[in-house]
Amino acid sequence: MNLPHLDTIVKEKTGIEVASYVPLSGGSISSAYKAVLSDSTALFVKTNPQFSDMFLKEVNGLRELEKSGSLKTPAILYADSELLLLEFLQAAQITNRKIFFEHFGRAFASLHRTTSDMFGFYEDNYIGSTPQKNTNRTTSWKEFYFSERLHFQFLLAEQNGYADKRLRSVFHQLEQQIENLIPEHHESPSLLHGDLWSGNFLSMEQNNAAIFDPAVYYGNREADLAMTLLFGGFDSVFYDAYNEEFPLQQGWKQRMDLYMLYHLLNHLNLFGKGYYRQVLETMQGLL
């Protein structure tokens, strides 16, 4: 790890020397380490971001989530263009799956009760390593979701050579149908984690959940739930508890594919043609 100032920063922030660094697996966007201090406590370290403002944007997202007081997020110790230093969250085994996902679902609903007057966010950030456009804020969810989410990702797919004639034709048909696919909800924009899947939460002591690696913005809360379903979904107790705490609009399950599409397009842009068929079939299923 070629960051000579890291040891100095850790000492400044904690008053304790670093004893060792342990590489952590699972990150495809940057390098991650567990910094073990001389008193055996640990910190979480990220290095090698793909963009110079990536860690600063992540910190701002964590701070926005923290404001809601709904779910545990890692404490922020330091961030610059090369380095992110966070509290190391120690995972605990889920001792009661039903209780864990019930607590998690209710807390996630509480997060979504934090609202704004406009869709978007005060700054752009990232979804994975893809820029996520938030600053064209609007009071129209239909306008925001199509323009800043679907259309933006589709243009990237064209630039990356993944949007052939067939995909362009189906996307154009989808554009014509967007008015019918998204009903008028009259709900205030909710604070969204933006990228919540099984890799971006962990279980803590007393069957509580912690969340991290956000792609924060204010949007329709159904979009956040759709991401949780993308890779098989969470325990059904999670969704039942969420809906009891903050009832969803009628027909929400039928809109999940529409909101998954943003993330599928992003996966196409990040990881390549292996996602082409799923993107195409999802679009066709919406028509």
Strands (E), 48-118: 76-79, 83-87
Average pLDDT over residues 189-210: 93
Write the CA distances from 102 to 65, 92, 207, integer angstroms.
Answer: 20, 17, 9
Distance between CA atoms of residues 103 and 118, nearest Å = 28
Measured torsion, CA atoms of residues 220, 56, 54, 159, in degrees rounded to the nearest 10? 50
In the chain, % of residues over pLDDT 70: 98
- Decide if pLDDT at 251 tops 60: yes
- What separation, in Å, do the N-terminal and C-terminal C-alpha atoms of the chain show? 49
pTM > 0.85: yes or no = yes
pLDDT digits (tens, 9 = 90+) for 140-180: 999 999 999 999 999 999 999 999 999 999 999 999 999 99
The domains found in the chain, sorted by start residue, are 6-87 (3.30.200.20), 97-286 (3.90.1200.10)
Average pLDDT over residues 238-252: 96
Q: With bands split at pLDDT 50, 70 and 90, how would you rate the model's confidence at 186?
A: confident
Average pLDDT over residues 216-220: 98
Q: How confident is the model at residue 13, as a pLDDT? A: 80
pLDDT digits (tens, 9 = 90+) for 31-62: 888 989 989 889 999 988 889 999 999 999 99
**209-240 CB burial, b ≥16 within 10 A, e <16:** bbbbbbbbbbbbbbbbbbbbbbeeebbebbbe
Q: At what angle do helices 236-245 and 97-112 cross, to 10 degrees?
A: 40
Residue numbers annotated as active site: 195
Q: How confident is the model at residue 23, as a pLDDT? A: 87
Strands (E), 62-151: 76-79, 83-87, 125-127, 130-132
Structure tokens, 121: 């966010």
